[in-house]
C-alpha cells in the first residue's frame, strides 16, 4: 500500500470538486500528468482505475488519490451504474510516496528531487524556528477504506452547494475549512491502524508522560513504573517512533520550553534552567549549546 506523505504547513489546498454519475460501461478517461491530485470517492458502484503499471478497484465507501505526476486510465469499464465524487487539490509544500519498494520525494507540481541532493536552507532562521515549530507529516493512504463515508459525503455536498458563490472570499475560506476536515477523515484510516500497534501506543504514552512531567526529576525506572512497561521496551519503542531515547526526547523538550522562556521572560538563566527541569545551570547551558549551537544568553540577545 502506498502512503502519500505531505509536509505541512503549508496544508494541501482545495481547488474544485463535483459529482459524476455514469451508466454501466463507463471507462475513466486516459490522462497524463494532470498537475493536481485527484481524489475519487465512490458513492455507488465501482471504479476500475489504473495508475502507471498498477490497477485499483475502488468500491463504494472507498477513495483513491491519483497522483499529479502519473498516467491515469480506466483499466476496465464499470460493471454497474456508478456514482463518484471527484476533488482536485494541490500543495505548495513538499510531498513524498512511501511504498514497499521506494521512497521518492517530489515537490508540488511533480518535479522530482534527487534524494542525494539536500534541500537548500536559508541562512536566516525562520521566525517559527525560535519557537521550536517545524513542519509535520500528514499521511494519507492512496487507496482508502473510509471510516465515516456518510460524514465525508456530507462535507462534499456542502462543497457542492458553495460552488455558485465561490467567487466570494468568505466562501473560498469556508471551502478550505471543509476540505481540511475531509483530509482529517482520510488520515483517520491510517491513524487508526497505527494506534492499534502496541509499540506506537507505548511510544506515544511515554512522550505524553515526559511532556507532562518535564519539570520534574524523571528516571527510566519512574517512566517504566508509570507506563507499566519495561524501560528497555519503552526505549526501543521511542527509538522506532521518534528516533531517540526517552532521555534524549526529554532533553530536547526541555530545551524547547527554555527557548520560549528566554524569549518571553526576563528570568535569569539559572531560574530558566530550574523552570524546565535542570538541576544545574551549567548543565543546562552546555545542553542548550550542544543542541542549538549558541548559548542561552546569545539566543536571548536575538530578541533584544
Distances (CA, A) of 105 to 43, 110, 113, 186: 32, 10, 6, 21
Q: Give Dmax (Cα) for the chain.
A: 74
Whole-number pLDDT of residue 196 = 52
Q: Identify which of 124, 147, 243, 252 has the alpha carbon closest to the alpha carbon of residue 195.
A: 147
Whole-number pLDDT of residue 199 = 87
Distance of CA 285 to the CA centre of its chain: 33
Helix axes 281-292, 246-264, angle to 10 degrees: 100
CATH of the domain at 105: 2.60.120.10
In a domain, 12, yes or no: yes
Distances (CA, A) of 54 to 40, 73, 74, 112: 16, 10, 11, 20
CATH of the domain at 238: 1.10.10.60
Q: Identify which of 176, 229, 173 has the alpha carbon closest to the alpha carbon of residue 203.
A: 229
Among the three residues 149, 168, 192, which one is the final residue of a domain in this structure? Answer: 192
Together in a domain, 138 and 224:
no
Report the alpha-carbon distance of residue 167 to residue 180 in Å, rounded: 19
> How long, in residues, is the chain?
304
φ and ψ of 168, to 5 deg:
-90, 135
In a domain, 216, yes or no: yes
Judged by DSSP in three states, 198 sits in helix
Sign of CA dihedral 23, 26, 32, 37: positive
The residues of the chain scoring below 70 in pLDDT are 100-133, 191-196
Domain count, the chain: 2
Specify the DSSP element, H or E, that contains 21: strand 13-22
Whole-number pLDDT of residue 16 = 95
Whole-number pLDDT of residue 303 = 82
**Other beta carbons within 10 Å of 150:** 8
Together in a domain, 144 and 260:
no
Q: Which residues are paired to 71 by β-bridges?
A: 32
The pTM is what?
0.69
Whole-number pLDDT of residue 130 = 53
Among the three residues 139, 172, 192, which one is the final residue of a domain in this structure? Answer: 192
In a domain, 158, yes or no: yes
Q: Identify which of 243, 284, 231 has the alpha carbon closest to the alpha carbon of residue 262.
A: 284
Whole-number pLDDT of residue 132 = 58
Whole-number pLDDT of residue 197 = 73
Cβ 25 vs Cβ 77: under 8 Å: yes
Report the alpha-carbon distance of residue 94 to residue 4 in Å, rounded: 11
Cβ 115 vs Cβ 32: under 8 Å: no
Whole-number pLDDT of residue 131 = 57
Together in a domain, 181 and 235:
no
Cell numbers 489504473: residue: 50
Concatenating the DSSP letter of every residue in 75-140 gives SS--SS-EEEEEEEEE-SSEEEEE-SS-EEEEETTS-B--TTSPPP--SSPPGGGGGT---EEEEE
Whole-number pLDDT of residue 102 = 37
In a domain, 121, yes or no: no
User: 98 is in which domain, residue-wise?
Assistant: 3-116+126-192
Whole-number pLDDT of residue 189 = 79
Report the alpha-carbon distance of residue 300 to residue 304 in Å, rounded: 7
Together in a domain, 249 and 136:
no
Cell numbers 528566554: residue: 262
Together in a domain, 92 and 164:
yes
Cβ 72 vs Cβ 49: under 8 Å: yes
Together in a domain, 232 and 269:
yes
Together in a domain, 40 and 74:
yes
**Which triple of cell numbers denotes residue 47?**
471504479
Whole-number pLDDT of residue 201 = 87
Together in a domain, 271 and 179:
no
Amino acid at each position: 500500500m502506498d502512503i502519500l506523505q505531505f509536509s505541512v504547513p503549508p496544508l494541501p489546498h482545495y481547488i474544485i470538486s463535483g459529482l459524476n454519475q455514469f451508466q454501466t460501461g463507463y471507462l475513466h478517461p486516459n490522462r497524463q500528468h494532470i498537475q493536481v491530485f485527484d481524489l475519487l470517492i465512490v458513492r455507488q458502484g465501482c471504479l476500475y482505475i489504473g495508475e502507471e503499471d498498477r490497477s485499483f478497484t475502488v468500491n463504494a465507501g472507498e477513495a483513491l488519490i491519483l497522483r499529479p505526476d502519473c498516467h491515469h486510465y480506466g483499466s476496465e469499464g464499470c460493471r454497474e451504474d456508478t456514482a463518484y465524487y471527484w476533488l482536485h487539490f494541490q500543495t505548495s509544500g513538499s510531498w513524498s510516496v512511501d511504498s514497499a519498494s521506494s521512497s521518492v520525494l517530489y515537490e508540488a507540481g511533480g518535479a522530482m528531487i534527487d534524494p542525494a541532493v539536500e534541500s537548500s536552507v536559508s541562512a536566516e532562521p525562520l521566525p517559527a524556528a525560535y519557537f521550536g515549530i517545524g513542519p509535520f507529516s500528514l499521511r494519507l493512504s492512496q487507496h482508502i477504506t473510509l471510516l465515516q463515508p456518510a460524514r465525508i459525503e456530507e462535507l462534499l455536498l456542502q462543497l457542492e452547494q458553495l460552488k455558485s458563490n465561490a467567487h466570494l472570499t468568505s466562501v473560498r475560506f469556508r471551502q478550505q475549512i471543509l476540505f481540511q476536515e475531509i483530509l482529517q477523515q482520510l488520515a483517520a484510516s491510517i491513524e487508526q491502524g497505527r494506534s492499534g500497534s502496541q509499540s506506537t501506543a507505548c511510544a506515544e504514552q511515554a512522550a505524553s508522560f515526559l511532556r507532562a512531567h518535564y519539570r520534574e526529576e524523571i528516571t527510566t525506572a519512574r517512566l517504566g513504573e508509570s507506563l507499566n512497561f519495561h524501560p528497555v521496551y519503552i526505549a526501543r519503542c521511542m527509538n522506532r517512533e521518534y528516533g531517540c531515547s526517552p532521555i534524549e526526547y526529554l532533553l530536547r523538550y526541555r530545551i524547547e520550553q527554555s527557548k520560549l522562556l528566554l524569549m518571553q521572560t526576563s528570568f535569569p538563566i539559572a531560574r530558566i534552567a530550574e523552570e524546565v527541569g535542570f538541576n544545574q545551570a551549567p548543565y543546562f547551558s552546555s545542553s542548550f549549546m550542544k543542541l542549538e549551537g549558541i548559548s542561552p544568553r546569545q539566543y536571548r540577545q536575538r530578541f533584544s
